[in-house]
Amino acid sequence: MNKTSAGTEAFHGRKNKMMRILRVATLSLAMMGPLVASAQTQPPAATRANTLRVVVHANLQILDPVWTTAFISGRHGYLIYDTLYAMNSRFEPLPQMAQGHEILEGGLLYRIRLREGLRFHDGSAVRAQDVVASLRRWMSRDVMGQQMAAVTDTITAVNDQTFEIRLKERWGMVLDALAKPSNPPFIMPERIAQTPATTQVTETIGSGPFIFVRDEWRPGNRVVYRRNPDYAPRSEPADYLSGGKRALVERVEWLYMPDHNTALAALNAGEIDYFEAPPLDFINVLARNRNIRIVNIDAIGTSGLIRPNHLYPPFNDPRARQALAHLVRQEDYMRVVVGNPQLYKPFCGSFFMCGSANGTEVGSEPFREPNVERARQLLREAGYNGEPIVVLQPTDRAQYNAATMVLIQALRRAGVNVDVQAMDWSTLLSRRANRNDPYQGGYHLFVTTHGGPTTALPPSNTWFNTRCERANPGWACDAELDRMVGEWAREASPEARAPILERIHRRAWEVIPYVPYGQYTQPVAVRSNVHGVLEAGIPVYWNIEKR
Amino acid sequence: MWYYVTKRILATLPVMGVVAVIVFLLLRLSPGDPAAIIAGDDATSEDIAKIREHLGLDRPLLTQFVRWLGQLATGDFGNSIYLERPVLGLIMERVEPTLALSVTTIIFAVVLAVPIGVLAAWRAGTWIDQTIMALSVLAFSVPVFLIGYGLVIGFSLTLELLPVQGFVSLAEDPGAFFRHLVLPTVALGLVYTALIARITRATMLETLNEDFIRTARAKGLGEPRVLILHALKNASVPIVTTIGTGLALLIGGVVVTESVFAVPGIGRLTIDAVMQRDYPVIQGVILVVAGVYVLVNLLIDLTYSLLDPRIRY
Amino acid sequence: MASTDITAAAAIVLRSRTATGLLRRAARRPLPVLGSALLIVLILSALLAPWLTPYDPFEMNVVDRLLPPNETYWFGTDAYGRDIFTRTLYGGRVSLVIGAAVAVASTVVGLLIGVIAGYFRTADAILMRVMDGLMAIPGILLAIALMSLTLASVWIVIMAITIPEVPRVARLVRSVVLSCASRSISRQRVPWVRGFRGSCCATYCPTPLRR
């Protein structure tokens, strides 16, 4: 055989091999096709005009707003569930699903009647039995619910429309608890609410103004809600979280965009209508755009706090904690965390949110301006001798990271030896629950935030809780303060509560369960054709229309 | 050759096994605890302990591992801790965006890079070569997100030609599908273009210096034929390797591009799961991605024997 | 890529017998000279950082946030009020160290693995499957897991980047070795050591020096 035909044969051999491989590859790709396609369900076309597209601040993962305290799950809850009572702009609990209530037997019996015509998304009527089951489940999970459970004797459904809460002792917070804005007792059908509180509820049947469209849910990308045509709103106008919840758009789409610049560009281009949490440095840029409006939905805002570990020296001594407070210039923290002076107060010395009904600042006068000399003296008195102070720094949470850096610099400038432990937020959450010695897996200081009306009430301000082992990480411990808070809770009238509050606040600035570093607010940014954005403390999507 | 292919495919099992063990151990040894995250701010240690028990995280490591292996054997990758939805379903939802972006990016890169690299090698030492090399350094030095932002400002906000972000399924709207893919593809593709162009140039330079090229030219063959059929074909093994590695990396997920353009791909799924310690999702994704890498590398290795018949299996 | 530029630049320097000879050679190949010069400037600026700038890279001046470049702050300030020029210089230290360490480590290990895999068929099967597995592990997971070891953070970063990088280098080297090793020169019955080293050289000696 001559060389040419051998070469040609080899060439054809290789060509056949190539064809074979190509055939196999195409076949396998083709088989994958239906597999992939089955995972994508086609959402129906919806008009842009009646869809509200929102960029949310976090990825919705847990659908059970009673099981988790995640903010995003709470906002999801407000869309598809409803509550018995809700707060108005004066933070008074008003009936929402309830028709009204009677307080009998000197404050020991609450009889509450439901409104007529309330229905769940599956068509069934809302009955008192559903309410009782939902309340029981909530009371075993939520902190304020647990407080209520401690003073409650029984909760029973008298008939389909009425139920009763019988208390063991007088407690003035019942309606406040039922109207709690964060982690409220959402009402679910009885059979769903009977899921043990340690397990997530996965069904999403509520009685709220919107319905969760499960088929179009893409975790990590998009959540879709449609208007509930059978929802019967109250007749009053919407006021904060109370009043009539009229759904004025057909669809609400939540989009998760991890990059803020992308969300900003999308808002500018009109691809989205509502930016839930624009980074605070963007607010001025957005305000200059004629197509965009900045809306302040949260008058009370967020309060940042530095939490010392009360279990170990030096911060087990109140003098060291006071020293810490003397080192804080709130303006520094606010400049770095917030930036825009329109969004924060230069100083807020209240543990219960400046601007709220309980926003007293008594006792905070010595701490208005930093006093490094006094701080050093107090630290010496508390026995601090230059040992490393372990500060936990969450590098992946921008606001907490910023505040922590200001704290570290302030400590170092005062001559404190700081041991910075940088980690991601998940690691920090585990580490801050660790009761060990700071040098063996524990810590001395970390930074966090809280806010809203819940923080404004002493019993529901969880970081203020001074119950030692049962307190939040940091384990603040002061029996006297705890007793005073209980006393405040038992009173119902503002006149009785005011003097107790003042005493609580003075003591708080001596005992210092935590050091507040500033109060600020997060506005939302919407396109100019979006109207009816409610000042409700959190983003809610009823009352909003696009014109 | 089929014997080799079968041997390789069978070899994936021990690979996946080793990967499974490594990932499982890495996760359990990492600091950070999904139970603490779920429990939230106000949780006590008892709350966290109860959740750990509910998730099965308090059992001995070996028990947890065996349970997971048992689930895998039935094709069940488990449920996400947070979502309580099957991991495999979550991954399959992300396949279309990831594949779409990967395939368009690699095609864009290869179509652009190989001719550029050949050109640079052919005219080595001239200003064409110098310019191409300088541009390629620029292309892989500038961060992808910067290129991305620049493209968005230019084409989306100023010219209003293309959308800022998002992904639309091909089945839903083919026009929108392509329009949404243009900017991410260009932003991501420039990096791979630079890499592939440089490798092409390097291997072509070596091959063009070989004696057989001189022979081909002496025989009177046209320059394009010499360049492509003779030089490029013989130089192509490292080029195909780079393309294959690039494709594998793309499929594994490109977090930055996915974040900038809000494409719901596997990269974002992995990062979000890692930052929250969603163990079943992390384990499932890494296993699937390892399987894909094994397959892609097998295909690349098979193409070696096509391109260079001296390489035999 | 940078290595070929550096060797090319070194070749230019070594082969010039006079200064004018050097300048002439440099003018003909501007790119490698430019690249090497830039690298040297970068390294020097990182080394001499404390003398080039009076600021502390960590010091926050909260009043001076987000300023554009001006006389006081040459590159402006960031969101925390820190001077960006200072941070660029000091950050160069970290980046250069990590970059160099990762490049050296992944090249050395990847080269070794790639050559062995390309040359010995049985080793190929095992090593390459291990490499496939390693490629799949995300760097950030490695970094978080490595945090539980009490190493300095720089070493953790280096390890977390090198480990997924090694397989890519190894595959590339292996592919070159496969095509080289099949060439006639290596198929002769030479002692395996010479053939081995021969493959190494063929892969990594840059073209100009080989002539």
> Are A244 and A235 in contact, with CB atoms under 8 Å apart?
yes
Reported as a single tens digit per residue, the pLDDT across B252-287 is: 879 999 999 999 999 999 999 998 899 999 999 999
> Are B275 and A425 in contact, with CB atoms under 8 Å apart?
yes
Report the residue of chain A nearest C146, measured CA to CA: A423
Q: Assess C44–B contact: CB distance below 8 Å, yes or no.
A: no
Write the CA distances from B116 to A277, B132, B199, B234, integer angstroms. Answer: 45, 7, 11, 17
> Are C138 and C78 in contact, with CB atoms under 8 Å apart?
no
pTM to 2 decimals?
Answer: 0.86
| Region of A106 on the Ramachandran plot (φ > 0 left; ψ -120 to 50 alpha; else beta) | left
DSSP letter assigned to residue A352:
T
Q: What stretch of H or E contains A130? A: helix A128-141
- Residue A348 has a CB neighbour count (10 Å cut-off) of 22
State how far residue B243 is from chain A, nearest Cα, in angstroms. Answer: 17
Please measure the distance between the N-terminal and C-terminal CA atoms of chain A and give it in whole angstroms: 84
Give the per-residue SS3 of A141-180. Answer: HCHHHHHHHHHEEEEEECCCCEEEEEECCCCCCHHHHHCC
CA within 13 Å, CB half, A288: 4
State the count of interchain CB pairs (< 8 A) between B and C.
110
State the count of interchain CB pairs (< 8 A) between A and C.
31
Write the CA distances from A99 to A109, A123, A239, B203, C11, integer angstroms. Answer: 17, 20, 17, 81, 90
Bridge partners, B233 (sequence order)? none
State how far residue A506 is from chain B, nearest Cα, in angstroms. Answer: 24
Q: In this structure, what token pair is assigned to residue A229?
A: 């045509």
> Are B251 and B300 in contact, with CB atoms under 8 Å apart?
no
Q: In this structure, what token pair is assigned to residue A508?
A: 């708080």
The contacts of residue C71 (CB under 8 Å, 6+ apart) are none
State how far residue B41 is from chain A, nearest Cα, in angstroms. Answer: 7
Question: How many Å apart are CA A526 and CA A274, to the nearest integer?
Answer: 4
Chains near B (3 or more Cβ pairs under 8 Å): A, C
Q: In this structure, what token pair is assigned to residue B108?
A: 């864009």
Q: Assess A337–C contact: CB distance below 8 Å, yes or no.
A: no
Question: How many Å apart are CA A395 and CA A420, to the nearest integer?
Answer: 11
Reported as a single tens digit per residue, the pLDDT across C78-92 is: 989 999 999 999 999
**What are the DSSP calls for chain B, one per residue?**
-HHHHHHHHHHHHHHHHHHHHHHHHHHHHSS--HHHHHH-TT--HHHHHHHHHHHTTTS-HHHHHHHHHHHHHTT---B-TTT-SBHHHHHHHHHHHHHHHHHHHHHHHHHHHHHHHHHHHHTTTSHHHHHHHHHHHHHHHS-HHHHHHHHIIIIIIIS--S-SS----TTT-HHHHHHHHHHHHHHHHHHHHHHHHHHHHHHHHHHHTSHHHHHHHHTT--HHHIIIIIIIHHHHHHHHHHHHHHHHHHHH--HHHHHHTT---HHHHHHHHHHHT-HHHHHHHHHHHHHHHHHHHHHHHHHHHHH-TT---
> Are A177 and A155 in contact, with CB atoms under 8 Å apart?
no
**Residues of chain C with C-beta less than 8 angstroms from the C-beta of B205:** 207
Task: Give me the residue from B22, B130, B310 closest to C137, CB to CB.
Answer: B22
Contact B133 C145 (CB under 8 A): no
Q: Confidence band (pLDDT; 50, 70, 90) for C10?
A: low
Question: How many Å apart are CA C45 and CA C13, to the nearest integer?
Answer: 23
**What are the DSSP calls for C35-102, one per residue?**
HHHHHHHHHHHHHTHHHH--S-TT---GGGTTPPS-SSSTT-B-TTS-BHHHHHHHHHHHHHHHHHHH
Contact C60 A424 (CB under 8 A): no
Bridge partners, A104 (sequence order)? A109
**Residues of chain C with C-beta less than 8 angstroms from the C-beta of A427:** 144, 147
Note down pLDDT in tens along chain A; length 547 residues: 455 555 555 556 566 666 666 666 666 555 555 555 444 443 444 577 899 999 999 999 999 999 888 899 999 999 999 999 999 998 899 999 999 999 998 889 999 999 999 999 999 999 999 999 999 999 998 888 998 999 999 999 999 999 999 999 988 889 999 999 999 999 999 999 999 988 889 899 999 999 999 999 999 999 999 999 999 999 999 999 999 999 999 999 999 999 999 999 999 999 999 999 999 989 988 999 999 999 999 999 999 999 999 999 999 999 999 999 999 999 999 999 998 999 999 999 999 999 998 999 999 999 999 999 999 999 999 999 999 999 999 998 999 999 999 999 999 999 999 999 999 898 898 899 889 999 998 999 999 999 988 899 998 898 999 999 888 999 999 999 999 999 998 887 889 999 999 999 999 999 999 999 999 999 999 999 999 999 999 999 999 999 8
Q: Assess B15–C contact: CB distance below 8 Å, yes or no.
A: yes
Chain C from 92 to 121: CB within 8 A of any B CB? none
- Using DSSP's 3-state secondary structure scheme, residue C170 falls into helix
